[in-house]
Amino acid sequence: MARAGLSNRQQRMLDFIIRFMEETGRPPSIREIGKAIDISSTSVVNYNLNRLVEEGYLERDQNVSRGIRLTDKNPQYSRSVADVIRVPLVGRIFASEPVPMPGTDSPIFDTDEAIELTRELLPAKHEGLFALQVRGDSMIDAMVNDGDIVVMRQVQEWANGDMVAVWMRDKEETTLKHIYREGPKVRLQPANPMMEPILIHDPSTLEVQGKVVMVVRQLEPA
């Protein structure tokens, strides 16, 4: 039975959002909501989400990826706002052959959105975390697909086998790969048997901008 002020469709939508967040620790996307409620039009999903906002069941930031929050008008939702961590979604990283980027001081960091994840899904220390959307399929055997989001920690030190976002300053190229030290060289290893590793003969030209700590899988086409 729908709550006062809500249609049956809006109640189903709210129930799905609560269930999705309980199970995954993050808000669903517009397309995930539409698929679950059998609505093909994103504008219809948006209309009903806005009705849930007007009725006080949701808060919504339309400038943020998956920017839906449940309010305390949903007592059955057990996670408090304090349990949610906003991780800045700062750009894209290419899991492919290295891709040229404009020469800037911060080549990867070029957008200003965010994703929201529950605290229990993230490492104990939340400082220095950022997120990048993956483009390409060089890391598919590491279960990182095109359109997925990788949550990363800014690091200066790394260990063999870490999955890292790297900036090759001499080539002005960026890529996502596993990294290994091999004597005086560094090897950037894709997780795709169809692609060759990249050997960096002068490691001083390589800047590791972050290490992957979590992958957020996208259930919809990017």
Over residues 52-67, mean pLDDT: 82
Of the two residues 18 and 101, the one the predictor is more confident about is 18
Backbone angles phi, psi at 10, to 5 degrees: -65, -35
* Token duo for residue 219: 């259930």
Which among 1-5, 76-80, 167-171 has the top mean pLDDT? 167-171
Q: Read off φ and ψ for residue 207, nearest 5 degrees.
A: -120, 115
Measured CA to CA, the distance from residue 177 to residue 197 in angstroms comes to 9
CATH number of 83-216: 2.10.109.10
Give, in degrees to the nearest 5, the angle at Cα 25 between 22 and 30.
90
Per residue in 143-188, pLDDT (tens digit) is 999 988 899 898 878 999 999 999 888 888 889 999 999 999 999 9
Which amino acids are annotated catalytic?
138, 177
pLDDT computed for residue 96 by the predictor: 75
Q: Is the pLDDT at 104 greater than 50, yes or no?
A: no
Domain residue spans of the chain: 8-79, 83-216
Note the pLDDT of residue 162. 95
Q: pTM for this structure?
A: 0.60
Count of helices and strands (H, E) across the chain: 3, 12
The b-or-e profile of 114-132 (16+ CB within 10 A means b, else e) is: bbbbeeeebeeeeeebbbb
Comparing 107 with 60, the larger pLDDT belongs to 60
Q: Tokens 């961590």, residue?
A: 85
- Architecture of domain 8-79 in this structure: Orthogonal Bundle (1.10)
The pLDDT of residue 190 is 94
Helix axes 30-37, 8-24, angle to 10 degrees: 120
